[in-house]
A and B are shown apart, each in its own frame.
Chain A
Amino acid sequence: MEKRMNQGQCRWGRILLAAVLMVFLAAATTVAKEAVIIFHAGSLTVPLAQIEKEFEAQNPDLDIQREAGGSTKMARMISELHKPADIMASADYKVIEKTLMPKYADWNIRFATNRLVLCYTDQSRFADEITKDNWFDILAREKVVWGHSDPNLDPCGYRSLMVLQLAEIFYNQKGLYDRLIANRPEANVRPKSVELVSLLKTGHMDYAWEYRSVAVQHELKFVELDDHINLGNYAYDDFYKQANVKVSGKKPGTWITRTGQSCTYGVTMVKESPNPKGAERFMTYLLDPEGGMKVLESMGQPPFIPCRVASEAELKTLPASLQKLAIVNP
């Protein structure tokens, strides 16, 4: 009797062991893919998710792992926290220039533009009234809840404040900036601009400052602003220069000043990263006019085709496969 019981238990034990081993083997084969780690701006999430899918379909041996956040925050994670990353894609190419170069990156490719719009839903207060000529009056009204992202962590945050400063100059309304900020309690500031989208959609917020591409991707209504103030047209760079925002520096209590400029997205490969070969393959796909750039265009984010570097010298520092995709445009 005992012998039979032992045999039965033995058999079940072996089956269980085999099952566990199979699960581990399956897990191991998925782990065997090479990872490429990309830190990127929150506003690039939707297009990069699509690009990732297309790239992984063509390159099954690579596993793209993305982490999104305010570009300033993501760049600091590389420079201060030394978190491993292969590629950094920023909503402001100046973030790469100031935070990552020269120690963590050698070059900086400008690959896309964007512009700021005021987003809302049809449930927002005064949604039926708002136009590009009265938005600053509506944002100052008492019950209206509007917000932007944290200027210290996210370029969209300081760009939103720049839009308000430029609006004060352009519409010739002294004190407009202060009046608007007075109607924006700190609770309406979020670390990442795309978080504002969910607040809009649940009705916690009436208006939020977002990139036009994000508004299109999330099917939000938005108010288009004059080119003088929406930071979208590099022809108006001299006008944009009038806006200045103080953001936090490397340690609490220190500050640096960001000056207004048209929204230019930058991308680079991080030096001494875990998988430079995989990163180069992804970059080639991203900057290909028929590849990643096409996806960006289709999702409402105008790309620079071809992408740009600042000087001949910088072009020479690019990896060979990327050199033919870029041009010099100071």
Chain B
Amino acid sequence: MSKTTDDALPLPPPGSGRRRVDPFLGIALAASAIIMAFILLPLVEMVVQPSLEDLRETWSDPDVIRAIGMSLYTSGTAALIAFVFGTPFAYLMARKHFPGKRLVESVVDLPIMIPHPVVGIALLSMAGRHHWFGRILDQLNIQIMGTVTGIVCVLTFVGLPFYINAVKTGFEAVPARLETVSRSLGASPWSTFFRITLPLAWRSMLVGLIMCMARAVSEFGAVVIVAYHPMVAPVMIYERFTAYGLKYSQPVAVGLIMVCLVLFLLLRWASPRKGGIA
């Protein structure tokens, strides 16, 4: 056995009592442990710090329940809008190639990197009566400031890229030739989409919805500019933190985390783990 093959293959030398841990695997495991600790430690700390009495008192407060409900409702609506408008867009991006496609893809990613208050400020400036767009909205009796409509607008803005990117990848994974075969056998584009593409890509759409809703539920900076009332949960957590202190804001945060965890676990469970296309 030459020395070079020994170094290349992670096999323990024959006859040795101990397994020598492959350094590559070791580093990967160490990095994973650090990341898990980094994510879990602050969250676990926040969940165990409030006493059961604090939790009970906060979770029976109607304002808190309303805020968490408002968060779920607005982020769910944003995810729905992303689904309706994002799916055709993602399909187009997956199938067609055109000059400027990279630019369009970058534009879709813009909401991810724009600072959150900027989103709120931009929307508020456009929707005010001093702006031509705001005047149109005023004529249509659509209110943005301090309304659920305004909240859903900003949440859709920040959540769209997550949905579109996930679904685009899903559509790209469906081989175009399957669709071509379907068309060649006489099916219409509609029929092909619903009977061939959709059943193969629905899991990525579900993942996209989860990502979009998760992003929307945690949004704070944009929402607080557009609508302080009605309060969504992140705004209430911030308000309680600044007005009363950590003791009164932590239980609300724990409530939101628990509700979202249950929701996302349910959604993931509803999409059974499976390999790709057979």
Which of A's residues lie within 8 Å of B, judged by CB? 69, 72-73, 76-77, 80-81, 123, 150, 152-153, 185-191, 198-199, 201-205, 248, 250-252
Given the interface pairs A81-B245, A204-B145, A252-B240, the reply to whether A189 lies near B228 with Cβ below 8 Å is: yes
- Residue contact B244 to A80, C-beta cutoff 8 Å: yes
What's the Cα separation between A123 and B130 when bound, in Å? 7
Residue B146 CB within 8 A of the other chain = yes
What's the Cα separation between A80 and B125 when bound, in Å? 35
Q: How far is the CB of A246 from chain B (nearest CB, A)?
A: 15
**New A-B pairs, 7, CB < 8 Å, besides A69-B242, A202-B127, A204-B144:** A72-B243, A76-B242, A191-B228, A202-B128, A203-B134, A248-B244, A250-B244
Given the interface pairs A185-B146, A187-B147, A187-B229, the reply to whether A202 lies near B242 with Cβ below 8 Å is: no
Residue B50 CB within 8 A of the other chain = no
- Residue contact A73 to B145, C-beta cutoff 8 Å: no
- Residue contact B240 to A203, C-beta cutoff 8 Å: no
Which residues from A are CB-within-8-Å of B147? 187
- Residue contact A252 to B242, C-beta cutoff 8 Å: no
Query: Which label, helix, strand, loop or mixed, suits the secondary structure of the B interface?
Result: loop
Q: How far is the CB of A252 from chain B (nearest CB, A)?
A: 6
What's the Cα separation between A216 and B7 when bound, in Å? 77
- Residue contact A77 to B248, C-beta cutoff 8 Å: no
Which residues from A are CB-within-8-Å of B230? 186-187
What's the Cα separation between A242 and B145 when bound, in Å? 34
Of A69, A186, A250, which one neighbours B229 at CB under 8 angstroms? A186
Which of B240, B242, B246 has most A Cβ within 10 Å? B242
What's the Cα separation between A150 and B130 when bound, in Å? 25
Q: Contact flags (1/0) for B231-242 with A, using CB distance below 8 Å?
A: 000000001111
Which residues from B are CB-within-8-Å of A190? 228
| Identity of the chain A residue whose Cβ is nearest the Cβ of B125 in the assembled complex | A202
Which of B's residues lie within 8 Å of A, judged by CB? 61, 124-125, 127-131, 134, 144-147, 227-230, 239-246, 248
What's the Cα separation between A204 and B245 when bound, in Å? 31
| Identity of the chain A residue whose Cβ is nearest the Cβ of B126 in the assembled complex | A202
Q: How far is the CB of B255 from chain A (nearest CB, A)?
A: 14
What's the Cα separation between A84 and B61 when bound, in Å? 31
What's the Cα separation between A252 and B124 when bound, in Å? 30
Which residues from A are CB-within-8-Å of B146? 185-188
29 contacts between A and B (CB under 8 A): A76-B242, A76-B243, A80-B244, A81-B241, A81-B242, A81-B245, A150-B228, A152-B243, A185-B146, A186-B229, A187-B145, A187-B146, A187-B227, A187-B230, A188-B146, A189-B229, A191-B228, A201-B128, A202-B124, A202-B128, A202-B129, A202-B131, A203-B129, A203-B130, A203-B131, A204-B127, A204-B145, A248-B243, A252-B61
Given the interface pairs A202-B124, A202-B125, the reply to whether A153 lies near B242 with Cβ below 8 Å is: yes
| Identity of the chain B residue whose Cβ is nearest the Cβ of A149 in the assembled complex | B228
Which residues from B are CB-within-8-Å of A186? 146, 229-230
Which residues from A are CB-within-8-Å of B131? 202-203
What's the Cα separation between A150 and B240 when bound, in Å? 13
Which residues from A are CB-within-8-Å of B228? 150, 187, 189-191
| Identity of the chain A residue whose Cβ is nearest the Cβ of B148 in the assembled complex | A187
| Identity of the chain B residue whose Cβ is nearest the Cβ of A77 in the assembled complex | B242
Which residues from A are CB-within-8-Å of B145? 187, 199, 204-205
- Residue contact A198 to B124, C-beta cutoff 8 Å: yes
What's the Cα separation between A204 and B147 when bound, in Å? 12
Which residues from B are CB-within-8-Å of A72? 243
Which of B134, B146, B245 has most A Cβ within 10 Å? B146
Which residues from A are CB-within-8-Å of B241? 81
The 8 closest A-B pairs by CB, nearest first: A187-B146, A202-B128, A203-B129, A203-B128, A203-B130, A80-B245, A204-B145, A186-B229
What's the Cα separation between A250 and B145 when bound, in Å? 30
